[in-house]
Structure 1
Amino acid sequence: MATAKQNFYKWHRILGLIALIPVMMWTLSGLSHPFMSNWFRPTIAREIYKSQPLQVKPALSLKQVLDKNKVPGFINFGTITYQEQPYYQVMGMDSTYQYYSANTGDVLANGDRLYATYLARYFTQDSTSKITSITIQKAFDAEYQPINHLLPVWKISFDRPDGMDVYIETGQSRMGTFNNNTRKAMLVVFEQLHTWQFLAAIAGEQFRVVVLLIIVGIMLLSLISGLTVYGLFWKKFKTATENRRRDKRKDTRFVHRFHRQLGLAVSLVMFTFTVSGAFHLYVKLANDRHAAKAGIRQMVKTAQLKTSNLSLPVEDSLVKNVGLVQFYGRTFYQLNGTKKQVRYFDVDNGAELENGDAMYANYLASYYGAEPEKNADGKVKTTQIREFTNEYGFINKRLPVQQISYPHGENWYVETTTSQLAAKVAGIDRAEGLSFIFLHKYFGMAWAGKNVRDIASMLAALGVLVVSVFGFIGFLKNR
């Protein structure tokens, strides 16, 4: 029995030493997260783009403009206002945007670049600062991370003391994110210390996740072995403390005692951190094995536009944007309204498709891989989501979306205005999402406010850090 106890103690020290550096990296970066996401988060004048109502109705239809420019086919189009004039924003077959005046049909040279710059100045409300660089970004990096979802985007960098960068998705006239110098530095530090992206740079994303899973597993074993040691030796620890007090000897093992006592106090916190982290990594690893299906790539022939986009029975003031979608062998104008309603009109005859957004959402879900159970007709529920929820959180970025709920428990979220899959939530995904936001990010304390929640999570991380440091000091003292 004595040998078994000593072995437990030995393995606890070995596991603790292996986990020491990762724990310090994760807790220190965890302590910095509230500063980055809340207290030191930069502000911007406007976060949502409100399109200007057209002062002049377009003189030419989309078909007339495309015929004039000899464009036989394209992927999609939108309508925008630039310099108080209406333009058609047309995505060509090379997936780049061309801008045509809706009054003259003339091409706006460098239109996408100009419109991105206009939007960046709109969001910052900065019309005077010099722009140092404008680049198209097609991949995520340390400063524009996958959490932002939107690609490709234009990165517009301002010559300002705060070093402001704004990321613009011109196709939907929206902002991906914005960073100042402080946030850029903190993002890089967080990415390396908390998510260990340097491992992905070395051997790929799957390697990174596997290594993190192993380290989290070692942390969990260190915790369990520590609790076991405390249970096996608590009588010995208690007797030693009583003898020291009786003999009035100096407490030379304060560090060890504090490590044990505080370790016991924060053991639940460390357990929730490690279990939720491991669950998160496991689900990510499982999902990454199944590559996401590429987005829908449609091809619309200009000759198909038998109904003019200017003749649709909707007031211009109620339309935020107009696009085109194809499903079930038909092509429709897709009108995105100012009140987040989406309507569909057949390009052949102008007839409105009743319940069109729900129909298109179900079509998209099937395209991306949803498989309804047999005899599920009538049991599939489609609901428009206009604000973030616990299941479909802010991390997903896209709104509004349609939620397609299947009887077997899967929820698919699609953004119909871009034909993109926003999120898929199945049984294990739902459990992982809830465990991560409540056990790892402390959303259970949201009722007390973001500041209180952040302070609580920082105290938890600090407790784990202090326990680890005192454990290491105790190890050095024993040498």
Structure 2
Amino acid sequence: MKKNIYKLHRTLSLIIALPVLLWAISGFMHPLMTNIRPQVATQVLPARTIDSAHIQTTLTAALQKHHIDSISSFRLVHIDTTWFYQVQAPGKTEPLYFSTINGKILTAGDWLYAQYLARQFLEGPAITDSAAALPPARAEAGSTAHDCCDAATSCVLNNVKGAKVHDASMLTAFDPEYKEVNRLLPVYKVSFERMDGIRIYVETTSDRFAFAMDNRRAVFDRVFRYLHTWDWLNLLGKAKHFVLACIAAIAFITSILGLYIFFTTKSNGSNGNSLVKARRYHRYTAVIASLFTLMWTLSGSYYAFSKLQTDTRDRYFVTGHLAATDVSIPFGMLAQAIKAPVNNVSMVHLQDGNYWQVYTKNGIQYVAAATGALLPHGDAQYAQYLATQFSSNPAAAITDTSYVTQFNDEYNFADKRLPVWKVGYNSRHHERYYVETSTGRLSVRVDDLEVPQGYSFALFHKHHFMDWGGKALRDFSTMFWVLMQVIMVVVGLTLYVVWKLRTRKGRKVGTASAAHG
């Protein structure tokens, strides 16, 4: 039996040798990739307090001016010191931009705003709160002395500081550079004329930094995609994940067989025998590296199998339907209700009607559009409302609601959105819905059956069990044990080649002896 196990181990080792080498070499690169990210000034822009003096035309008036009777959502944005209503029309991908001074529409507004945002992320915010508070120009009938739309356009296209924008284009689907792991769509890709060819991806509807890539990082990324995630198998569709899962599972089984052989057989002295010497090296390098081989292959196989399920999170979001006559922002009433400076305003629907969704430095508050009353714990209530819509569970079934402001092993960096609310239920294996109230979207749904996969990948595959030592120690640990995998495979292949050559030589000697016999 031991002889058969040894033969099976050798056969399986030959099958998985190249895949494991590819995974190990690219895995060694991954910590390097995380330390050569493109340098940007910031990934979060400071919120600007809205001075109602900048609001000289109501949103209702601006919409009626352009014969728009309903919208899905709105908020306020600024380009330099010029403010606009950013309006999402039903069924449209790109939002529209209307001047808060005169209601004029900003031509190519989303394209311009994407470039403005990208520059802020790359080079830092261009204006201070004091600059933003400068009194706006008055919109006078027939006046052409100041056009806020022209000013905003000139600010973006004629910027004399920093790198010039080479190109800006909207992405509505993921591609090899902006992969599905980035989650956010649609986004704009803004490329700058710099030696490093940096590209900044931004989500204009939330002022969000999505991703950055430069030429150096792109080389590492391309190598990683081909050696580690095997993008060359994308033509197989979901079957690619099945292939990866099976190969990783075979590697796991091979390691188990190797450990069995190690603990049930004894190693003899080499006495100058190169084959025995190679076998001894392989035994000890393999047993040292085997724990991490088991960790990586088990979590990798588990993860690949989980990818066979369709990720449907992007199908869950709420779409508003707001009449143009209902969206004139009552700044005076809102200031009185929340008693804090307003950074932004939108409108959402809860069970009993529409509410102003008011953003302040202390979070989001909700004011009833009909009465002006402040909704207690409004953001939590809206999160529960969203979870109820997405889960089809009754509101009474909610068991807990908590605010999540940082990633953890269950809700990790791959989920992208922060902050979110976690809304839990007792049903369907204690399902939890992580919802983003600022966009009305589901970030992710998890339950007790899915948690082991997430934990195994975070702890065993990405070495987060080393978080106690900080990123530098975790990266060193990852690279050291990946290097051990390479040594284990190389020594194993050397053992096979030595054995094969000796076997072939023995056959030749045997054949020659028979010929002279």
TM > 0.5: yes
- Determine the C-alpha separation between the residues in 2 that align with 1:319 and 1:145: 35
- Residue aligning to 1:121: 119
- Residue aligning to 1:109: 107
Shift in Å, 1:378: 7.6
- Residue aligning to 2:490: 469
- After superposition, where does 1:134-153 map in structure 2 within 5 Å? 134-153=168-187
Shift in Å, 1:49: 0.9
Per the alignment, do residues 397 and 431 of structure 1 end up closer, same or farther by CA in structure 2, a change over 3 Å counting?
Answer: same
- Determine the C-alpha separation between the residues in 2 that align with 1:52 and 1:293: 32
- Determine the C-alpha separation between the residues in 2 that align with 1:391 and 1:162: 35
Per the alignment, do residues 265 and 25 of structure 1 end up closer, same or farther by CA in structure 2, a change over 3 Å counting?
Answer: same
Tell me, yes or no, if the aligned pair for 1:51 and 1:81 is still in contact at 8 Å.
Answer: no
- After superposition, where does 1:58-457 map in structure 2 within 5 Å? 58-93=55-90, 94-125=92-123, 127-200=161-234, 202-204=235-237, 206-232=238-264, 234-235=265-266, 237-238=267-268, 241=269, 244-245=270-271, 249=272, 251-285=274-308, 287-288=309-310, 293-305=315-327, 308=330, 311-313=333-335, 318-328=341-351, 330-339=353-362, 341-369=363-391, 371=393, 377=396, 380-407=399-426, 409-457=430-478
Tell me, yes or no, if the aligned pair for 1:381 and 1:405 is still in contact at 8 Å.
Answer: yes
Shift in Å, 1:316: 9.8
1:9 aligns with 2:43: no
Which segments of structure 1 move beyond 6 Å, counting only runs of 4 or more?
A: none
SS at 1:295's partner residue?
Answer: coil
1:13-46 Cα offsets, whole Å, 9 max, x none, are 11111111210111111100001012x2222112
1:289-330 Cα offsets, whole Å, 9 max, x none, are 767634222222213337646642367973332222223262
Query: Structure 1: which 5+ residue stretches go unaligned?
Result: none
Task: Identify which range, 270-279 or 299-308, moves more after superposition.
Answer: 299-308
Tell me, yes or no, if the aligned pair for 2:397 and 2:426 is still in contact at 8 Å.
Answer: no
Shift in Å, 1:416: 0.5
Q: Report percent identity of matched pairs.
A: 32
Tell me, yes or no, if the aligned pair for 2:49 and 2:344 is still in contact at 8 Å.
Answer: no
1:159 maps to a residue whose letter is: E
Q: How many residues align?
A: 459
- Determine the C-alpha separation between the residues in 2 that align with 1:34 and 1:23: 18
Tell me, yes or no, if the aligned pair for 1:53 and 1:317 is still in contact at 8 Å.
Answer: no
Tell me, yes or no, if the aligned pair for 2:383 and 2:437 is still in contact at 8 Å.
Answer: yes
Tell me, yes or no, if the aligned pair for 1:73 and 1:301 is still in contact at 8 Å.
Answer: yes
- Determine the C-alpha separation between the residues in 1 that align with 2:179 and 2:348: 29
Shift in Å, 1:153: 0.5
Shift in Å, 1:385: 1.6
1:382-416 Cα offsets, whole Å, 9 max, x none, are 12222223322222221111111223533211001
Task: Identify which range, 454-463 or 223-232, moves more after superposition.
Answer: 223-232
1:25 maps to a residue whose letter is: L
- Residue aligning to 2:156: none
- Determine the C-alpha separation between the residues in 2 that align with 1:385 and 1:5: 53
1:262-310 Cα offsets, whole Å, 9 max, x none, are 111111111111111122223332x427676342222222133376466
SS at 1:313's partner residue?
Answer: helix
SS at 2:423's partner residue?
Answer: strand
Shift in Å, 1:186: 1.4
1:167-191 Cα offsets, whole Å, 9 max, x none, are 0111111110111111112122212
2:34 maps to a residue whose letter is: S
Per the alignment, do residues 70 and 311 of structure 1 end up closer, same or farther by CA in structure 2, a change over 3 Å counting?
Answer: farther
